[in-house]
Amino acid sequence: MAVVAAGIGLGLLGALSWKLVFKPLYRDMLMTIAATTGIGLIMVQGIIVTVGERDIIVPTIFPGLLHVGGVTVAVEKIALIIITLLIMLAIYLFLGTKTGKALEATTIDEDAAALQGINSERMFLLATVVGSALAGVAGALIVPTLTAQAGMGWTLTLIFLCIVMVAGHGSIKGAIIVGLLFGLVESFGYYYVGTLDSIILFAVVAVIIYIRPWGIWGVEFKRTA
Amino acid sequence: MNLREQPRGDYARYGVLAGVGLLLLSLPYLVPTYFAHLLILAGLESIVVMGFVVQLRVGLLSFAIATMWGIGAYISALASTTLGIDFWLCLPLSAMGTALIAFIIGLIIIRAGGVTFLMITIVMAEIFVEAVGHLSVLGGWQGIWGIHPPTIGSFVFVSKVSYYYLTLGLVMLCALIFYALYRSPIGAAWTAIGRSSDLAASVGINLFRYRLAAYVIAAFTVGLSGSVYAHYMCFLVPQSFDIVRSIYLLIYGLVGGIGFTIAGPIIGSVTMNLITEVLRVGDKYQPIFLGGVIVLVALLFRNGILGALPRYITHGLWRRWGRSNANF
């Protein structure tokens, strides 16, 4: 229930910020960055004011432990993986529909998509809403395994940005694969490499971006002079 | 015959300039010490924003401008603490060191093109923070302490007032450097690139060379600012030069108006620093108000505060810039 509520709520927030802020600022990238930062400040502090700065521990919906061949796993984590896979499948199926294809066309070339009769404005709205809603769902899902904290936004935003850049803009498949890789490196990097793991990780990211600016699975774009 | 419209009221303009000059000189004695502190920070940040704007003008949107600032600050801090070098040597040293690093990085990443450059600067910003944080030689997450204050003879820069004048001088110096550059053929080429890089390239402007020049010169001035920042704060932590700081500096520039290459950064930094401070009356609601102000400025002042003023006031400050032609 909470997960669905988070999805719907964040989707509505996304739609609201698109209508009020991002649409008027359309194509003014710098001002959009500024406005996004402003909205971020409002939201984070809004949470701190209403909920407080303390860490919140959310009870899990799937209690219990599972013993499989000598390994003990929390049921919750397995449920998490299954739900994540289901969501990925849903996104994949969605991209196969007409709307999904229109969305992808708008990502690749907005003007060409508009010439084919795609209402690009509605696609932007859709992307904002779906994106926010997914972020909400992901947040709600992950919250029982972490402690929720209002200030956790910036570092995560950077990591997500890196994932998208490496995977390629508009490539959902790439985002899934690179996201998994990033997660693995974050978990095991320290163990195998030591304190410099994050530097090496970001250096690799920089090299990949330099060689393939459109990302590994992205659509190649012309390097602007 | 001069076809350009003559500026109205030249004498009034000089009067205003003289008034502003006098006000700037006497300001530390008129306002509380804490405001002098804010003005020092705003001044140092305005230099960084000037560097940001000059890079932006040639189509390089950098999220690593605070990183450059940090590099300058750290060079100065390390030279001061571990080598015991005097501030007046640290200042040019960190400016040249930052410019050198920018030159080497710029050689590699400027050719990559607009969007790639942008993405790499984001990663660079992250690498800098992680590297400084993890390497204890550079102070680590705990930061660097005990940076020696500048001295002239037996006079030691300790008070806010002395730093205020130091900062004022530095801002003036950087403003003059940029003013001279924007007036020169180099500046004309920068503006041409900013308005349309394709057109500029077609008339024979070497995009890469002029972009690299803008990038390195910006790094040089930012390094100067970083050096003073390090000595003023006496204490550095890597987190103060992360990407969030870069984004805030970007916002300062936008608030002032990025069409105004010199006045914009100064006005923007001072305004935003003061607004941030004034909004502290809101206590824990302060960030909400600040976010609201930023969103409102973005929606209402698309060309910044200076861009919203009538043209006859800002005449001479405005540097034409085809905003819609920016390469992003």
- What is the pLDDT of chain B when averaged over all its residues? 85
The percentage of chain B sitting over the pLDDT mark of 90, rounded to a whole number, equals 35
Q: Do B258 and A30 touch (CB under 8 A)?
A: yes
**How many residues in total does chain B contain?**
328
Q: Which of B240, B272, B239 is nearest to B254 (CA)?
A: B272
Give the residues across from A148 on adjacent strands: A56
- Give the C-alpha separation, B63 to B69, whole Å: 12
**In the 8-state DSSP scheme, what is residue B283?**
G
| Per-residue model confidence as pLDDT tens digits over A61-90 | 666 777 777 777 777 778 888 888 888 888
Grade residue B324 by pLDDT with cuts at 50, 70 and 90: very low
Q: Which of B65, B283, B288, B325 to mutate to test the interface with A (most CBs of A within 10 A)?
A: B288
pLDDT at B86: 87
Asked if B294 reaches chain A (Cβ–Cβ under 8 Å), the answer is yes
Is the pLDDT confidence value at A137 over 80? yes
| Per-residue model confidence as pLDDT tens digits over B254-267 | 898 888 888 889 99
Q: Does any domain span residue B5?
A: no
Two tokens at A222?
């012309």
CA B121 to chain A, closest CA, distance in angstroms equals: 9
Domain with B161, as residue range(s), is 33-240
Q: Taking CB atoms and an 8 Å cutoff, what residues of chain B touch A27?
A: 324
Q: Which of B133, B65, B77, B49 is nearest to B105 (CA)?
A: B65
Q: Three-state SS for B328?
A: coil
Residue A199's contacts (CB-CB under 8 Å, 6 or more residues apart) are B127, B130, B131, B134
Grade residue A53 by pLDDT with cuts at 50, 70 and 90: low
Q: Does any domain span residue B257?
A: no
Asked if B116 reaches chain A (Cβ–Cβ under 8 Å), the answer is yes
**How many residues in total does chain A contain?**
225
Q: Taking CB atoms and an 8 Å cutoff, what residues of chain A touch B288?
A: 41-42, 45-46, 49
Is the pLDDT confidence value at B10 over 80? no
Grade residue A102 by pLDDT with cuts at 50, 70 and 90: confident
Neighbours of B21 (CB within 10 A): 11
pLDDT at B325: 37
Contact in structure between B75 and B97 (CB atoms under 8 Å): yes
Grade residue B68 by pLDDT with cuts at 50, 70 and 90: very high
Q: Taking CB atoms and an 8 Å cutoff, what residues of chain B touch A28?
A: 302, 323
This prediction has a pTM of 0.84
Q: Which of A27, A199, A210 sits opposite B112 (nearest CB)?
A: A210
Dihedral angle of Cα B289, B284, B35, B291, to the nearest 10 degrees: -20
Tell me how many domains chain B contains: 1
Q: Taking CB atoms and an 8 Å cutoff, what residues of chain A touch B112?
A: 210, 213, 223
Q: Which of B285, B294, B328 sits opposite A37 (nearest CB)?
A: B294
Residue spans of the domains in chain A: they are: 2-148, 151-225
Is the pLDDT confidence value at B326 over 70? no
Q: Do B127 and A24 touch (CB under 8 A)?
A: no
- State mean pLDDT over B185-199: 87
Is the pLDDT confidence value at A60 over 80? no
Residue B86's contacts (CB-CB under 8 Å, 6 or more residues apart) are B148, B150, B151
Is the pLDDT confidence value at A136 over 50? yes
Q: Does any domain span residue B219?
A: yes
Q: Does any domain span residue B68?
A: yes
- State mean pLDDT over A36-60: 77
Top-confidence residue, A153 or B48: B48
pLDDT at A56: 67
Q: Which of B116, B290, B328 sits opposite A209 (nearest CB)?
A: B116
- State mean pLDDT over B70-93: 91
Least confident of A16-25, A69-78, A142-151, B196-205: A142-151
- State mean pLDDT over A219-224: 59
Q: Amino acid letter at B2?
A: N
Is the pLDDT confidence value at A200 over 90? no
| Per-residue model confidence as pLDDT tens digits over A156-166 | 777 888 888 88
Q: Do B123 and A33 touch (CB under 8 A)?
A: no
pLDDT at B322: 47
Dihedral angle of Cα B132, B137, B142, B144, to the nearest 10 degrees: -100
Is the pLDDT confidence value at B241 over 70? yes
Q: Do B123 and A206 touch (CB under 8 A)?
A: yes
pLDDT at A106: 83
pLDDT at B47: 95
Grade residue B209 by pLDDT with cuts at 50, 70 and 90: very high
| Per-residue model confidence as pLDDT tens digits over B112-169 | 777 788 888 988 998 898 888 888 888 888 888 888 888 887 788 888 888 899 999 9
Q: Three-state SS for B44?
A: helix
